[in-house]
Every structure is written in C-alpha cells, then in structure tokens.
Amino acid sequence: MNNFTHQRAQEQSELTVQLSELQEEMAFTKGIAGPLYSAFVIQEPQQANCELHGHFEQNYLTLEYRGRLSERRSRCPHCLKNAIDAAEIRKRQIRIDELTEQANIPPRFTSSEFNNFDILNTCASQNISVLRDYAASWPTMLAAGTSLIMCGKPGTGKNHLAVALAKDIIRNHESAVLMTSVMRIIRAVRRSWDKGADMREEDVIGIYTSRDLLIIDEVGIQYGSDSEKIILFDILNARYEDMLPTVLISNLAPVEIAEVIGERLMDRMVEGDGATLIFDWPSYRSRKGAVSA
C-alpha cells in the first residue's frame, strides 16, 4: 500500500466514524437517544438557538451520578444535516478517486469526456448517444451483463469515448472499471507462467473477471500462440457466464473480430441490448492533417 493509498484509507475510516457519530446525533434530535444514554432521564425539550438556522427544539437528557450532573443536549438538526451531507460527499469523492485510479485510464485520454468529443458526422452522433444511454442506464446494463463492441478506423475517437464511458460510470455509479488491452492481458498472464512469479495465473485472470466493467482495446492484434488466444477467450467467456459487461475496442470490422474471438462469443457480446458501434469515417487525426496540409 503506497502512502497516498494509505492516507486515503485512513480518511475513509475517519469519515465512517464521523458519519456514524453524526447520524447518532441526528437521531437524538428526533428523540432517539441510543443505548449509551439509557440511564439518562428525559427532560422537557427546550427552546435553543442556532446562530445560522435560528430556533430549534432541543432534546435534553440529564444524569445524576455521585452528586455530579451530566447532561446531553441535541444539536441544531440543520447543522447536523449539513455536516452529514459534507461527510458523505467527501466519502464518495474519495471512493471515486480510488476507482478512477484503479481504472487504468491511459494518460493521453485523462481529459476525455462525452462533452468534449468532436461530433463530426451523424454516425459519430449516433455512437455517442448510444454510449451516453448505456452510461445513464448502467445499473440495468450491469444487471443484464450488456456488452458493447466499438470498432472501425483508427483515429475516430473510440478511445476517447471509451474513457468518457468509464469515467461516467465511475462518477455516477461508483462501479469498478478496468481499461486494458489484449497485449497487456497476454503479457500479464504470461508473466504468471514464469517460475517465481509473484501472481498465480488464476489471480491475474481474476483481475479481469472481477471488475464490473472491463474495457479491452486492440482486439484483433496478432496473437503469438493458440494458448494466448485462449486467454482472451477464457476471460470473455468467464465474464459472459458471470453476466458482467465487457466493451471491446478494435480497428477491425465486425466480421474480422468474429474471426478473432469466434462467432459464438461475438453473438454473445451483442446479446440483449448489446450493440456494435461502427466508427467508419476518415480519421480525426488525418483530417486535421489534411486541413493543415
């Protein structure tokens, strides 16, 4: 665990404690004192004043023990509500930061969002709207294991949109997403075959089969061997069996992708609400080049 992760874990647990204390205090504003105060005597509620929110009815408990008087007074419910909201927002932000960090978003695309994507044509506009809908209905997509294929020419914004999708799902649904490529998967699995490797093959595979959403780039690049082809197949198949969504990104046409992953898996990828999005227009990069040339 690195320092940053450690700090975050500590803040998370502090926030959890803080939230449960605040919630206990909030319950007391409604007259629920909790087991710690069972020995206290309930007094008549009093009129109290909050500098920010004005008058409120204050619950009041007392306990006399060995000649000493202890008391407990409830706090302004509006102040408590604000404190609870702030702690919850902070807790959520920490979780989102953590998920974003674990998503392995390529540095080149860290600023990619749906709203800064250049919509060049009708096809691009249709694709982005399918992806926006997919993100917006993520709980349904996740429950049904709905997958997507994004394929077509390089430089048409597939990666930009895949990153935008990942970020949206993390931000709005706090799901675990992982972006990777076929090459990375194969290298990671292959490393686990080495003598003295620090991870076993099933642990490596587990990384890819456990995230809520797995996005795999470069589908269709040349494989070294059949055993490597089987790795990808196994991961896709395991996710399908567990009804977990996968997004495949490829520069190949759908027919060619089917040759790589097999007809059956290809059909499974677009089952239900799943879709194949075709990015079939001149490259954004070469178009820009053409303008400047």
Interacting residues toward Zn ion by CB under 5 A: 50, 52-53, 76, 78-79
Q: Which is nearer to Zn ion, 75 or 268 (CB)?
A: 75
Please report how close the Cβ of residue 22 comes to Zn ion at its closest, in angstroms: 13
List phi, psi (to 5°) of 150. -115, 110
Query: Cα(130)–Cα(126) distance, rounded to whole angstroms?
Result: 6
Q: Which is nearer to Zn ion, 58 or 147 (CB)?
A: 58
Give the residue from 94, 98, 215, 93 showing the smallest Cα distance to 165.
215
Please report how close the Cβ of residue 47 comes to Zn ion at its closest, in angstroms: 14
Q: Which is nearer to Zn ion, 78 or 171 (CB)?
A: 78
Please report how close the Cβ of residue 83 comes to Zn ion at its closest, in angstroms: 10
Query: Cα(117)–Cα(159) distance, rounded to whole angstroms?
Result: 11
Q: Which is nearer to Zn ion, 51 or 194 (CB)?
A: 51
Please report how close the Cβ of residue 186 comes to Zn ion at its closest, in angstroms: 58
Q: Which is nearer to Zn ion, 50 or 238 (CB)?
A: 50
Query: Cα(75)–Cα(88) distance, rounded to whole angstroms?
Result: 19
Query: Cα(203)–Cα(209) distance, rounded to whole angstroms?
Result: 10
Please report how close the Cβ of residue 46 comes to Zn ion at its closest, in angstroms: 15
Q: Are strands 60-65 and 68-73 parallel, antiparallel or unpaired?
A: antiparallel
